[in-house]
Amino acid sequence: MAALDLLSDSYTRRALVEAVFVGALCGAVGVHVVLRRLSFFAMAMTHATFPGVVLAAILGINLYLGSGVFGFLVVLAVAALSARGDNTSVTGVVLSGSFALGVLLLSAQSGFTRDLTAYLVGSILTVQADDLVTSGIVAAVVLVVLALLSKELVFGAFDRDATVAAGYPAGRLDVVFLLLVEVTIVTSVPAVGTILSVALIVAPAATARLWCDSVRGMTVLSVVIGVASGVIGLAISQQWSVAAGGAIVLTASGIFALSALLAPTIGTPSRRRQARVETRSTVGAVGEEGPLPGPGGAPTRGGTPGPVASGGISS
């Protein structure tokens, strides 16, 4: 019944389309956020855009425009300062300071009456047609950029020094990706709000990593989980009259929790680890009759060392 309710009127139909766009966008970007261990940066960015929102509200302009512009400036500041010191420390100081600035600006406006609740926790049922156009265009552009830079981004996520040695502009790639994260957060605000958007970025990708051992498979599954979380969460919201943003994020979190319980025993990475253990056991059992393993790994039929089996995520 809840599924049919999503198509019952124009409000829920627009919300459904928005959930699909945002779920796919967050799922795709989240893969690289997880691989690069930038979950803290994503969480901090949700707070760092707050001064832009307050300034936009004071000036009477679009909140998301103010959020996006200020987020862009914060990304540039983090990228510039990170080159001189510890990335995590710089991120924490800059982004916490940005949020404090927003609180200061808000408290200084004694007559400020504009409600910012929708920005903080989302209001997907109030999205308009122009919001859908914006979300669709942003999702398409971000997905194209990720596809074009996939090799470089994955390379940099696993070995930054090798990326620089190979001649790739690692610094510029970092800035481009941080901007993609910032754009994703701003775009997902109408659906889940700035505070909850980080969960929709990280949870689907973290779940996919439990089941997949390749970046391509992880990306596909993360997008599917992101979209499914949006649709299921919206249906739950309609069925039980609860906040859509919270329902969407709790759905994504629930899928992750369930996967964390099941994936260690039945997931693809687990099966491959088990296969490697069995292979080593077999080699050890016949080790006295066969050639000894060389430094490169298990012996081949000709007795020469074979390649080391990778236990990480492949491209």
In this predicted structure, the answer to whether residue 301 has a pLDDT above a threshold of 80 is no
Q: What is the pLDDT of residue 313?
A: 66
Give the model confidence (pLDDT) of 29-58 as tens digits. 999 999 999 988 888 888 888 888 888 888
5 band by pLDDT with thresholds 50, 70 and 90: low
Kindly state the average pLDDT of the residues 93-109. 83
Give 305's strand partners: 299
Side chain identity at 148, as an amino acid letter?
A: L
Most confident of 71-75, 184-188, 226-230: 226-230
Q: What is the pLDDT of residue 291?
A: 46
Calpha distance 251→195 (Å, rounded)? 16
246 with 196: CB under 8 angstroms?
yes
pTM: 0.80
Computed from CA positions of residues 152, 156, 159, 162, in that sequence, does the dihedral angle turn out positive or negative? positive
Chain-centre distance for alpha carbon 248: 15
Looking only at Cα atoms, what is the longest distance across the chain? 86
The continuous run of DSSP H or E covering 270 comes out as: helix 268-285
Q: What is the pLDDT of residue 213?
A: 87
Q: What is the pLDDT of residue 290?
A: 46
Most confident of 49-58, 60-69, 239-248: 239-248
Kindly state the average pLDDT of the residues 133-143. 94
Q: Give the CA-trace dihedral at 193, 196, 202, 207, to 10 degrees.
A: -110
Side chain identity at 210, as an amino acid letter?
A: L
Domains and CATH numbers, the chain: 2-268 (1.10.3470.10)
- Average pLDDT over the chain, rounded to an integer: 82
Calpha distance 199→20 (Å, rounded)? 16
